[in-house]
Copies of this chain bind each other. A is one copy, B any other.
């Protein structure tokens, strides 16, 4: 499977899948979007997995691993502008894994579930004879029809913005303790109208071109504006993954108001930075980023 990239593999696999008339958005965005039975609301569905040796190590604090496992799909719910509802969790682990580790994962899950008002309503455990453990989370959520933000809505002339700072998530351990931007995304869609949004999981170099491709448009990244964490350089900030910040576009006209309202609302806690512009054709093509199946990233 390493011979083809993750995007290519998913595109091949999902081509031709049956979609019922209730499906508004299938594979390809941060969450799947379905018609809700309540008019005015849409249902969100997202699945995500963390794998030992890829997304966490056995030495990592189990509570932090559990936190990360549930915070990742929460970040996807945030990226649609949604409110999380319920989650189910599947753990596959070698039979010799200490129960204390699994209990630690669950404590972390529970802590995050309480922090973000999600109900963990079911689970499944299975042993594996060999290999590493994995924790798979599926989350449901909902969002008002007029507040759902897709990746595909970026418009020519939009400003491109990012929350927080980027880079060094894996080396610093931030990937185990990040805060999904649920409150920020809800505030954003309550007061402003972002055109396109996603969460940064595979790195700006991979995720920005992805969003713009889905919007059928180009971009210009102002590299000097990219907000890097203190401990990393620009290359790391652009190409590394697991930042889980929000990347979105919004009308250039609204941007000054947004920046000043943001500052008032989130103070010094979380920055919001304009990093580029949506353009007819791409002016600063990006390469790199994190690919779960590419040999180079392993």
Binding site for B on A (CB under 8 A): 1-4, 6, 9-10, 12-14, 16-20, 22-23, 25-27, 31-32, 34, 36-38, 41, 43, 45-49, 51-55, 85-86, 88-90, 92-99, 102-103, 106, 109-110, 113-114, 117-132, 134, 136, 138, 140, 142, 292-293, 295, 298
Residues of chain B contacted by A117 (CB below 8 angstroms): 20
Check if B88 sits within 8 Å of A45, measured CB to CB. yes
Residues of chain B contacted by A93 (CB below 8 angstroms): 1
Q: What copy number does this chain have within its complex?
A: 2
Check if A9 sits within 8 Å of B47, measured CB to CB. no
Offer 28 A-B interface pairs, CB within 8 angstroms, sorted by A: A1-B95, A1-B99, A2-B96, A9-B125, A13-B102, A14-B120, A14-B123, A18-B118, A25-B121, A26-B119, A26-B120, A32-B121, A34-B119, A37-B38, A37-B142, A43-B140, A45-B121, A45-B140, A47-B123, A47-B136, A48-B124, A49-B124, A51-B92, A54-B126, A54-B128, A94-B131, A127-B298, A130-B130
Check if B47 sits within 8 Å of A125, measured CB to CB. no
Cα–Cα, bound, A164→B14 (Å) = 34
Cα–Cα, bound, A55→B90 (Å) = 15
Chain A at the B interface: SS class:
mixed
Q: Nearest 7 pairs between A and B by C-beta?
A: A131-B131, A37-B38, A32-B121, A138-B138, A47-B88, A2-B95, A32-B122
Residues of chain B contacted by A45 (CB below 8 angstroms): 86, 88, 121-122, 138, 140
Cα–Cα, bound, A2→B26 (Å) = 38
Q: When A117-B20, A298-B127 are in contact, do A95 and B14 touch as well, CB less than 8 Å?
A: no
Check if A47 sits within 8 Å of B4, measured CB to CB. no
Interface centre among A36, A45, A125, by most B CB within 10 Å? A45
Check if B123 sits within 8 Å of A88, measured CB to CB. no
- What's the least CB distance linking A118 to chain B, in Å? 8
Residues of chain B contacted by A120 (CB below 8 angstroms): 14, 17-18, 26
In this complex, what residue of B is CB-closest to A3?
Answer: B99
Q: When A113-B17, A114-B18, A125-B293 are in contact, do A136 and B49 touch as well, CB less than 8 Å?
A: yes
- What's the least CB distance linking A88 to chain B, in Å? 4
